[in-house]
Amino acid sequence: MERKIRLYCFPFAGGTAQIYHSWSAYVNPAIELVPIELSGRGRRFPQPLFTNLADIVEDVWSMLQPEIDQKPYMLFGHSMGSLIAYELAKKFMQRGNQSPLHIFFSGRSSPNQPSKTKRSELPDEELKKEIFQFGGTPKELLDDPGFIRMFLPIIRADMEAVETYPAEAEITPLPCEISIFNGKQDHLVTHLEEWNRYTTKEIEYQFFDGGHFYLLDHAKEIMEAVNQKALESLL
């Protein structure tokens, strides 16, 4: 079957495009999986890190804008990636581009809820403890000096971008269906019902076993849900 829908995927704070590569084993042929590499990491490591979410979104927009009207598309973001997906969708629609068929917001409270933490300002050792408690990063990596020298500047920049993101006072609902994914044991995300205000169409909630980084263990189940939404949109 010819690939007809692009699925742009945005990583969590400190993450790279690599986290989504395992999804290719489960993606429907109707979907073209496009993991997005943010500036300052992965294959874009030499490029600058951004500490402002608006700058991250502008950078991604400049990459995707030339192709965004070529095919129907969906967006998937986890944690910080959800904010990127949301702001990017707004930017495309404000600039007159086609809107996404569907957006998957994962592991993230709605944009109108301000950050209550300043983890980006913690000393290295305290920040490492916080990262370990979140899950998603093996302790042996956090104990590796070479990894830490590379990783901490990235996670600090991303955390600062999230912590300084201005909570919305007024909400303009998106004209597309959205899905809210979250880990059943994720205590970092609150008031998920607030996402109801972010669409003029249908919203669906789906919960998976695990904490904040549940998606690292549920690639097959997540892609089954994504595949279903993609196929429904083609009908």
Distance CA 57, CA 179 (A): 21
Count the Cβ atoms, other than its own, within 10 Å of residue 175: 12
Q: What count of residues does the chain have? A: 235
Cα separation, 100 vs 229, in Å, equals 12
Residue 106: active-site member? no
Out of 39, 79, 106, 120, which one is annotated catalytic? 79
C-alpha pair distances (Å), 82 with each of 4, 87, 146, 148: 23, 9, 29, 25
Please name every residue paired with 103 in a beta bridge, in sequence order, or none if there are none: 75, 178
Residue 172, token pair as written in the block: 């303009």
User: In degrees to the nearest 10, what's the CA dihedral of 161, 167, 173, 177?
Assistant: 50
User: Phi and psi of 47, rounded to 5°?
Assistant: -85, 165
Q: Is 32 helix (H, G, I), strand (E, B) or coil?
A: strand
Active site residues: 79
